[in-house]
Structure 1
Amino acid sequence: MSSNGDLRAGAGHALRRFGHALIGHDASPELLCELTNQLERLTWELEEGVDRTRDPSSFGDTWVAPIADGEPLKSYDDRPVSGRSSPWGLDLDVHRRGNEVHASVTLREAHEGAPGRSHGGIVAALFDDVFGFVLGVEHQPAFTGELSLRYQAATPLHRPLSCWARTYRREGRKLFMTGELIDVTVEGQPVLVRATATMIAIDADKLFVSTAELPAPPDEDVALDV
């Protein structure tokens, strides 16, 4: 029998497929009414269940486990962008390549912004997530301090894309990262988006403290100067 984690992952995958189908296909009023009624009923059933809290250890293992070159990178199942149970996930295939992280992705109907193109916020979320995988390679817990993107060309739907990222410098608690999103199906493999990020290192034990117990954040840009 499948584990509860595998069953949740199957539900997450089905929800992602459903989202693309809903956005990408016409449906009769009757079918839409039926879908709404069934989804409302199932949602009510889920909401009657016991509230879930994620096991903190599912996050902490990322910083200590060795990651061999070429090895696929995994994270916790509910991770919004890349978790296998996430209804919003992008179905990334992520691997370590030397000191870089490479993610393969094909964006689809539910990711559309301008016609035939990905929404820019989806691309930003993609980079933020891939930069997070670099932290696993670095064995360094950190949070995003700054994220900057330069959109050089439209990001197409339904075409295989490659997103890579790496750390290029470290100063104290700050890790400076860079990355690119590339269209691998076009001759010359043009760069669609370039991104940079500043990640702020944090002690691993602080990841397991409730945000309500943490001190208030410093004003404005002070966090980036530590």
Structure 2
Amino acid sequence: MSSESSATTTPDVAEARARLGAAYRRLGHSIAGHDAEADDLDRIADSLHLAADELDAFPIRDRATERRTGDWGPPPASGEQMFSFDERPISGRAAPLGFDVSITREGDEVVGRLTLGSAHEGAPSRSHGGMVSALFDDVFGFVLTIEQQAGFTGELTVRYEAGTPIGVPLACRVRLAARDGRKLLMTGELTLDDDPTTVFARSTATFIAIDPERFSQLTS
């Protein structure tokens, strides 16, 4: 097994990793969305295994020392795009399984805009429901940035109103509805980007607030 790295990610490495993540996401849609002969698929699989072997030979990253969890800096102003760590599984620009979602603060709401693709498909032409749940969980997390509050997901509920289409611009709009002690109660909807009255799913979530120092200890 490769040794553990203590290096800090430099801007050029971060940009290169983001490009690699984007290429992997594109590959996922290509695998799910295109026909090819068995020999071609085998050849591509062999080349991907070689690429994975090459990466596995490098030192293992120590993510806990690369970034400080629970520390986001000042909250963004309304209209500003929001960012988290690059490997954030759904919205991170380097996330291999990400959704290529753009996150923006709009007033007291967080809006994630995206178009789901072939790799997200469940029923024909429709997103798998688990993708929708993961999207809500990720976008809800950005409310914590606005509130300047570290926390974890305590409960997530999704009501599917209609099949979520593939290949159509969508908007996941969420906000803080109330606060009860350590509980942050949130609500949200997944709609057409250009028609918020067309709702595909609704969600409620309870996030549990935690002291930032304790949060860092738990995630180190």
TM-score after normalising by structure 1: 0.88
Once the two structures are superposed, residues 148-195 of structure 1 have per-residue CA deviations (whole angstroms, 9 ceiling, x without a partner) of: 010000000000011100001001100000000002356x73111010
Counterparts of residues 1-226 of structure 1 (less than 5 Å): 3-54=12-63, 55=65, 57-62=67-72, 64-185=73-194, 189-210=197-218
Whichever residue aligns with residue 69 of structure 2, its letter is: F
Whichever residue aligns with residue 67 of structure 2, its letter is: S
Whichever residue aligns with residue 14 of structure 1, its letter is: A
**Kept after mapping to 2: 8 A contact 1:159/1:185:** no
Question: Compared with structure 1, are the counterparts of its residues 134 and 210 closer, same or farther at alpha carbon in structure 2 (3 Å cutoff)?
Answer: closer
Q: Percent identity over the alignment?
A: 47
**Kept after mapping to 2: 8 A contact 1:179/1:196:** yes
Whichever residue aligns with residue 192 of structure 2, its letter is: D
**Kept after mapping to 2: 8 A contact 1:118/1:155:** yes
Larger relative strand fraction: 2
Q: How far apart, CA to CA, are the structure 1 residues paired with 2:82 and 2:193?
A: 21
More deviation in 149-158 or 33-42? 33-42
Once the two structures are superposed, residues 54-84 of structure 1 have per-residue CA deviations (whole angstroms, 9 ceiling, x without a partner) of: 135353332x323111100000001000000
RMSD of aligned C-alpha atoms?
1.6
**Kept after mapping to 2: 8 A contact 1:102/1:165:** yes
Deviation at 1:122, TM superposition (A): 0.3
**Kept after mapping to 2: 8 A contact 1:80/1:89:** yes
Once the two structures are superposed, residues 79-116 of structure 1 have per-residue CA deviations (whole angstroms, 9 ceiling, x without a partner) of: 00000001100011111011100111100000001111
Match of 1:220 in 2: none
Q: Which runs of 4+ in 1 moved over 6 A?
A: none
Provide structure 2 residue ranges, at least 5 long, that are not aligned to the other structure: 1-10
**Kept after mapping to 1: 8 A contact 2:151/2:215:** no
Whichever residue aligns with residue 101 of structure 2, its letter is: L
TM-score after normalising by structure 2: 0.90
SS for the counterpart of 2:71 is helix
More deviation in 35-44 or 158-167? 35-44
